[in-house]
Amino acid sequence: MRRVLLISVFMTLCWASVVWTLQQNRHSIQKLTARLRASATENPDYWRGEWQRLGIAAREKAYLYNQWLEEGFLEQGMVVNRHSDGRPSGECDSLLFSSLRFTALMKLGWHDKAYQAWRGIENAFQNGRWIRHPKCRRKSTSRDMIVGLLVAMTQSPPAEVRQLQKLLSIVEDTGGSIDDGPFYVSRMSPGMGAIMRLMSQQYGVPLREIPEDVRLGFSTLEVDAWMAQPGYTAHLNALTLWIELELTDHQPRSALRSVSELIDTAFGPLGTPKIQDQRWVWVGHQLATLDRPNLFFEYMELRSAGALTWKTQAMLLQKLLEMPQFPNERLPRNCDRRADYLWQRHSVEYVPRPKAGCVETFHGVDFLWMVALLTENL
C-alpha cells in the first residue's frame, strides 16, 4: 500500500511538472518554430540542387548497403548482425530493425524489395504472438518491438488490416498487453493505444473489434520526452513521435488524443496559443537537445517544427555521408562504433574503436533509415 502511495505521489509530481513546463513555454516554442523555419529557407534554388546531388549519392550507397544486407544479414527473412565466424547476433531485436528496414525500403520506392522484407516480418507471427524473431520466441515481446511493427504498419503493408487485427486480438486476450511478458516489458502504454486506435480508424477496423484499452488510449509523449534519457528511451519516444506525425499528416491534429489536450481543456482560457498545437515541436526539441549528434533526433526536431526544407535535408545528408561509422566499401563493424544501431544509443557510443578488433558486422539499417527519410521525395 505504501509503495502504491509513493508511486501515485511521484506520478502526480511528474504530471504537475510537465503541466507547469508546457504552460511556461508556450511563447518560447513559438519563437523556436519561427527561428528554425527562418534559417531553413535561405537560397532555395541552390539548396535544392545540393539536396538532389547528395540524395543521389546517399541512395547509391543505401542500395549497396541493402544488397550486402540481403546477401548475408538475414535469418528467415529478418535482419540480424553477424560475428566474424558467421554466427548471427541481435535476433532478439530483429522485429524492430526488420520493421524499420521495410519502412525505409517503402520510402525509398523499392517496393519489390520492401514486400519481400515484409514476408520475412510475417514469420514473426507465431502461435498467436508477434515474436522478436523465430530464433527468439521464448523471450517476451517488448514495447519497442511493437512500436517498430507499428512504424511498418504506417506504410500499408500487404493485408495491413489483418495484421493490425492480430495485434488488437493480443491486446484483448491479455487484458491490455502486447505479449505475455511482465508489466514493465509487455504492458501496452496509453500512447501505443492511441496510435492503434487512430490506425484502426484509418484502416476501417470495426469499433467492436477495438479493445477498450486501445479505445481509451491517449498520447503521453509530453511526459515521456520530459523524463527521457539519451539512448534507448529517447529513441522509442522519437519513433512514437514519427508515427504520430506520419498518421496525422493528412488529418486534423485533434484526431489524436494527448496530455496536451487535457491541459488545454483545463487551462486553455488562461492563455494562448494552445499547447496541443505546439506539443510536437516541444517534444522534437526536447529529444534533439538530449543528444545533438543524433541525426534522427535532429531530423525529428526539424520535421515537427515544419522546417524540413531543401537546405536542412541537404545539411543532414552531408553529415550522414561524412560519418565514418558508415563506411563506403562495406557494412559497419563493431570497430567502427560501439552501437549496432546508432540512433537508439547515446552518441558516446558512436566513437570508432579501432583497437576493439573487427569481430562483428552490423546490418546497417540505421543508414537505410536516415537516407529514406531524407530522400523520400527525390
Q: What is the mean pLDDT of residues 271-294?
A: 84
User: Residue 10: what are its φ and ψ, rounded to 5°?
Assistant: -60, -45
* pLDDT tens-place string over residues 173-203: 999 999 999 999 999 999 999 999 999 999 9
Query: Do residues 130 and 170 make contact, with C-beta atoms less than 8 angstroms apart?
Result: yes
Query: Do residues 337 and 349 make contact, with C-beta atoms less than 8 angstroms apart?
Result: yes
Please report, as a single letter, which amino acid is at residue 378.
L
Distance between CA atoms of residues 113 and 126, nearest Å: 23
Whether the pTM exceeds 0.85: the reply is yes
Nearest CA-CA partner of 215 in 193, 232, 234: 193
Give yes or no for residue 77 having a pLDDT over 50.
yes
Structural Rg of the chain based on CA atoms:
21
Distance between CA atoms of residues 153 and 99, nearest Å: 9
Integer CA distances (angstroms), 95 to 1, 174, 224, 242, 262, in order: 38, 20, 23, 18, 34
* pLDDT tens-place string over residues 361-375: 999 999 999 999 999
What is the distance in angstroms between the CA of the first residue and the CA of the last residue of the chain? 58
Mean pLDDT of the chain: 89
Q: Which of 28-37, 61-70, 226-235, 347-356 has the lowest mean pLDDT?
A: 28-37
Which cell numbers hold the place of 106?
517503402
